[in-house]
């Protein structure tokens, strides 16, 4: 079973950058798409980005395309989310999660499990 732990959140000014990390415990990590999601107060959790099991394919929500980059290092069992040109509307708790099916991907929140505890990202204007 995959266990995920996010880190790297914090407070940053608009236009700044942060890099989030998602560390996994399972040896099967390299079989799974990892997704990044976020949830702002009073809003539903939404898809941000995903990277497939080999790292060959990445997907982004329109709201972050061109500003965020997802990558992974399977040797370190870690996925990263580089966030540049941050905006106040990016403020949320960010979560990583593993897709429930190996060697598969989609952007549906309910298809992901093994959620991390989340890391807070706050962007001040």
Q: Average pLDDT for consecutive 10-residue bins of the chain (125 residues)?
A: 90 98 89 96 96 95 98 95 98 96 91 92 97
Selection from 63, 106, 99 nearest residue 79 by Cα:
99
Beta bridge partners of 80: 21, 71
Taking the C-alpha atoms of residue 47 and residue 101, their distance in angstroms, rounded to an integer, is: 17
With a CB cutoff of 8 Å and minimum separation 6, the contacts of 57 are 51, 105
């Amino acid at each position: 079973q995959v266990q995920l732990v996010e880190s790297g959140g914090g407070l940053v000014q608009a236009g700044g950058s942060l890099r989030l990390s998602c560390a996994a415990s399972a040896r099967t990590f390299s079989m799974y798409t990892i997704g990044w999601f976020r949830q702002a107060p009073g809003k539903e959790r939404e898809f941000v980005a995903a990277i497939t099991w080999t790292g060959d394919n990445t997907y982004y929500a329109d709201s972050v395309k061109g500003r965020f980059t997802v990558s992974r290092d399977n040797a370190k069992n870690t996925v990263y989310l580089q966030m540049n040109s941050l905006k106040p509307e990016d403020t949320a708790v960010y979560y990583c999660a593993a897709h429930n099916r190996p060697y598969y991907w989609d952007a549906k929140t309910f298809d992901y499990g093994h959620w991390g505890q989340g890391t807070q990202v706050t962007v001040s204007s």
